[in-house]
Amino acid sequence: MKLSELGLDRGLADTAGELCGPDLSVARVTAVDRGRYLIRGEDGEAPAELTGRFLHLAESSAELPCVGDWVCAQYRDAGTQASIHQVLPRRSFLRRKAAGREVEFQMIAANIDVALVVQACHFDFNPRRLERYLVMVRDGHIEPVVLLTKTDLVAPEELERLIDRIRRLGVAARIVCISNVTGAGVEEVRALMAAGRTYCLLGSSGVGKTTLINRLLGDDALETGAVSHTGEGRHTTTRRQLIVLDQGALLIDMPGMRELGMLGAGEGIEEAFADIAELAQGCRYPDCRHDREPGCAVRAAVERQELAEEHLESYLKLRKESEFHDQSYADRRKKDREFGRFLHHYKKHRD
């Protein structure tokens, strides 16, 4: 398979040539499962491991390969095994705060052109979760498209109401309505996916992501779970993987994410809440927090009912969450550096 068919363009090829040199091959990470990697390049597909030098130099887990990454690799054993020596700089990424109390980035996928953010019209429709997904996508410099699935479970009037709720969140992204039962909207999704470009599906478990992929593939290549009486599907995807569709588009499937913690997402928040950011330009103070400051153009818009109060509350909550985790992350990194200097000083004087 040609590297261009995996999404390698002229710019990436030039970068790969500089970093990989003549001794290493360029490949793309197509699957990650519990620290194990699968890569694909012109030399074929093979399981891969990280070199000891790579692991030694990596300062955090965010620097380890994720699905969609381009890497410099060395094939061995007649191309049946490979070692990853380096990750090429990412053009775009999906990341979040690691689940739990740990304040660290978790890389989800990389080098994505368009994120298909999936929400079911029935049980899963959640504007707050949609906003979090859109912040994640915008923060990673990825174009979003919203997919509303299971439209067969709601009346046309209810569907229009849901679309209107999304628009009132300030979401200007394209919205595609899909029914995996009737097939409505599937061809529209297929038409927007261009050869050589990389797409991903983001959404909670059971919203119909795997069924949609099977429709795009034209078969039942991926296992799907049973659907409950509520229309809620069961979680089936267990690992992140990159799939090549017949028309040449590349699609990353991944498990649903329960936690979407904000870390380092300030830019993504401002872009996802562009309507609030635009209003904020009219505030009296440039550092206005949109709380009780005089001359706040954002609060004035809420009072005029031009901006929904819950939309502003969501923005303030996400910004506060991101700033809190950003500070915690900075403090931890500072302590790590200080501890590193202490060890260096101790070893130097001990020797």
Residues 280 and 297: beta-carbon distance below 8 Å:
yes
What topology does CATH give the domain 266-340? Ribonucleotide Reductase Protein R1; domain 1 (1.10.40)
Q: Which residues contact 174 (CB under 8 A, 6 or more apart)?
A: 145, 146, 192
User: What is the Cα–Cα distance from 344 to 53, expressed in whole angstroms?
Assistant: 20
Give residue-wise pLDDT tens across range 260-304: 776 777 888 889 999 999 999 999 998 899 988 899 999 999 999
CATH number of 3-87: 2.40.50.140
User: What is the Cα–Cα distance from 64 to 37, expressed in whole angstroms?
Assistant: 11
pLDDT at position 341 over 80: no
pTM check: above 0.75: yes
Element (H, E) at 240: strand 240-244
* 237 or 22, greater pLDDT: 22
Same CATH topology for 3-87 and 266-340: the answer is no
Give residue-wise pLDDT tens across range 233-267: 444 455 789 999 998 999 998 876 766 776 777 88
Element (H, E) at 212: helix 209-217
Flag the least confident range among 115-119, 155-159, 227-231, 287-291: 227-231
**93-253: CATH superfamily:** P-loop containing nucleotide triphosphate hydrolases (3.40.50.300)
DSSP for 184-199 reads: TTHHHHHHH--TT-EE
Instruction: Please report, for the chain, the start and end positions of each structural domain, with discontinuous segments joined by +.
Output: 3-87, 93-253, 266-340
User: What is the Cα–Cα distance from 270 to 278, expressed in whole angstroms?
Assistant: 9
